[in-house]
Amino acid sequence: MAFGRFICLFTVAAFLVSLRPCLSENITRGSFPKGFVFGTASSAFQYEGAVKEDERGLSVWDNFSHTAGKILDFSNADVAVDHYHLYPDDVQLMKNMGMDAYRFSISWSRIFPDGTGKINQAGVDHYNRLINALIAEGIEPYVTLYHWDLPQALQDKYNGWLDPQIIKDFALYAETCFQQFGDRVKHWITFNEPHTFTVQGYDVGLHAPGHCSILLRLFCRAGNSATEPYIVAHHVLLSHATVADIYRKKYKAKQMGSLGVAFDVIWFEPKTNSTEDIEATQRAQDFQLGWFIDPLMFGDYPKSMKYRVGSRLPNFTRDESTLLKGSLDFVGINHYTTFYAESNATNLIGFLLNDSLADSGAITLPFSKDGQPIGDRANSIWLYIVPRGMRSLMNYIKQKYGNPPVIITENGMDDGNNPLTPIKDALKDDKRIKYHDDYLQSLLASIKEDGCNVKGYFVWSLLDNWEWGAGFTSRFGLFFVDYKDKLKRYPKNSVQWFKNFLNSP
């Protein structure tokens, strides 16, 4: 989950599907295909805390979150929700709800405090304990290798993702995880939302390491918004392909696991029926999902990107293209909301920014041509509730990418963190219940009526947590965390809803 996603004026989809109305009956676990997986999701930096314990090294987010003016409420994640120590209790919360799986990330700097070199056994031991605790309760671990927390040592050494050396260092880290945990972990996600950390971190500067340029130089000390996002993305893609090749050649036959990427995808609908807006919507999706999934499916970037970005977009060699193509075993999708897209006819955005945000030639906002919001809003200024977008997105992936296995690796909504609201009132999250019910209805329709190949659904998130640039101002959890009283967890009404849902035939 990423605060600041509203800034991205180009994340849209252009595919139009004529869909029948969604299923309307009450749904339960039994409504979904046999073997369909339900779980909750988290990330190390947002959950764990304990940033200076057991030889953990610093990450770029440790430095960024301690930089004045970067976090909305001036907070940091030094303690977060203390999942590092409280994970046994949190595993029980999942177990009691009836969840099948838990998606969590490994902190690279807990395994390699310096990003590479000597393995930190204390970090390995922690994740072994967590994995074993999950398995003991019948909960399947889904492990993300990179959820934005690059070791600061690699940023200092060679600018991290901007240097091709990162490919070798990430491969070493990933292979170490396969060696240490792969006997029990069967579902690996190499990267969480590569599009988000590429753009937010290297274009607009709202995420670590905080690079940007042009008019945004007021907020950033370094960066080139016109080139750095494309360089970072290129290295991320080659890192995934390299790791997938290592896994398939050395570990898959014995460990029998699979690898995917969790892509962030805002679905977009054209603001009008004009040809210009329809074409702009497709370009915007090319610059969001297509930017990262097309090379992994087809071996190269979308044609619209190659045409519009030109020499600023790196090229893949023939061998790299071969390595990339087909390197996904499944497609992870983090989907929360839907926006409108329109053609940026005046190119005012491009004139002001000259960066990857403007290159698509599309403007994406959650308001119609009459100024009406596309749906009811959650707490985050970018999160509008539009359940139909889930079904449209699943059909887009089915038709454009050959109906690959898809896992919804994140879906959810947030409430605000009002310190004046009594806990008993904060637990009454009927809006969240309706959100999940409606999005699951839409997802189920895509499976049953449209034949989309969806295998699982992960709620963001089990607990209220530290939400990147939004700090503690946003509450996405099924469980309320009392930040004023030893981080006690209280079940919101949505917990009972999911418990009923998961335990009904």
Strand order of the sheet with strand 338-343?
267-270, 338-343, 362-365
Per-residue pLDDT band at 24 (split at 50, 70, 90)? very low
Which tokens sit at 24? 């309307």
As a whole number, mean pLDDT of residues 242-257 equals 98
SS3 string, 68-82, reads: CCCCCCCCCCCCCCC
Cα gap 457→501, rounded to integer Å: 13
Residue 21 placed within a domain: no
Residue 57 has pLDDT above 80, yes or no: yes
Residue 166 placed within a domain: yes
Residue 37: partners with Cβ closer than 8 Å, 6 or more residues away: 100, 101, 140, 407, 455, 456, 457
Residue 385 placed within a domain: yes
Residue 119 placed within a domain: yes
Residue 237 has pLDDT above 60, yes or no: yes
Q: Which residues of 82-119 are buried (b: 16+ CB within 10 A; e: fewer)?
A: bbbebbeebbebbbebbbbbbbbbbbbbbbbbbbbeeb
Residue 323 has pLDDT above 70, yes or no: yes
Give one word for 123, left, alpha or beta, with left for phi > 0 and alpha for psi -120 to 50.
Answer: alpha
pLDDT of residue 1: 53
Among 5-14, 392-401, 495-504, the minimum mean pLDDT is found in 5-14
pLDDT of residue 230: 98
pLDDT of residue 349: 53
As a whole number, mean pLDDT of residues 85-110 equals 98
Residue 7 has pLDDT above 60, yes or no: no
The percent of residues in the chain predicted with pLDDT above 70, rounded, is 92
Among 12-26, 288-302, 400-414, the minimum mean pLDDT is found in 12-26
Number of domains in the chain: 1
Residue 271 placed within a domain: yes
Strand intervals (E) in 194-275: 258-264, 267-270
The rounded mean pLDDT for the chain is 93
Residue 322 placed within a domain: yes
pLDDT of residue 16: 38
Residue 351: how many CB atoms within 10 A of its CB? 9
Residue 3 has pLDDT above 70, yes or no: no
Per-residue pLDDT band at 4 (split at 50, 70, 90)? very low
Per-residue pLDDT band at 13 (split at 50, 70, 90)? very low
Tokens 């805002």 -> residue: 266
As a whole number, mean pLDDT of residues 75-94 equals 98
Describe the chain by its helix, strand, coil percentages, rounded to 5: 45, 15, 40
Residue 210 has pLDDT above 50, yes or no: yes
Q: Which strand (E) or helix (H) includes residue 179?
A: helix 165-181
pLDDT of residue 270: 98
Model confidence over 104-153: pLDDT tens digits?
999 999 999 999 999 999 999 999 999 999 999 999 999 999 999 999 99
Per-residue pLDDT band at 221 (split at 50, 70, 90)? confident
Residue 266 has pLDDT above 90, yes or no: yes
pLDDT of residue 217: 65
pLDDT of residue 417: 98
Per-residue pLDDT band at 356 (split at 50, 70, 90)? confident
pLDDT of residue 346: 67
Per-residue pLDDT band at 269 (split at 50, 70, 90)? very high
Provide Rg for the chain, Cα atoms.
21
As a whole number, mean pLDDT of residues 423-433 equals 98
Q: CA angle, corner 110, sides to 108 and 115, nearest 5?
A: 50
Residue 345 has pLDDT above 90, yes or no: no
Known catalytic residues are 193, 410
CATH number, domain of 325, equals 3.20.20.80
Q: Which strand (E) or helix (H) includes residue 482?
A: strand 479-482
Cα gap 118→124, rounded to integer Å: 12
Domain ranges, residue 130? 29-503
Which tokens sit at 119? 């393995």
As a whole number, mean pLDDT of residues 72-79 equals 98
pLDDT of residue 50: 98
Residue 480 placed within a domain: yes
Give one word for 80, left, alpha or beta, with left for phi > 0 and alpha for psi -120 to 50.
Answer: left
Number of H helices, E strands in the chain: 20, 17
pLDDT of residue 348: 53
pLDDT of residue 215: 63
As a whole number, mean pLDDT of residues 437-458 equals 98
Residue 1 placed within a domain: no
Which one, of 179, 229, 171, 177, lies nearest residue 200 by Cα?
229
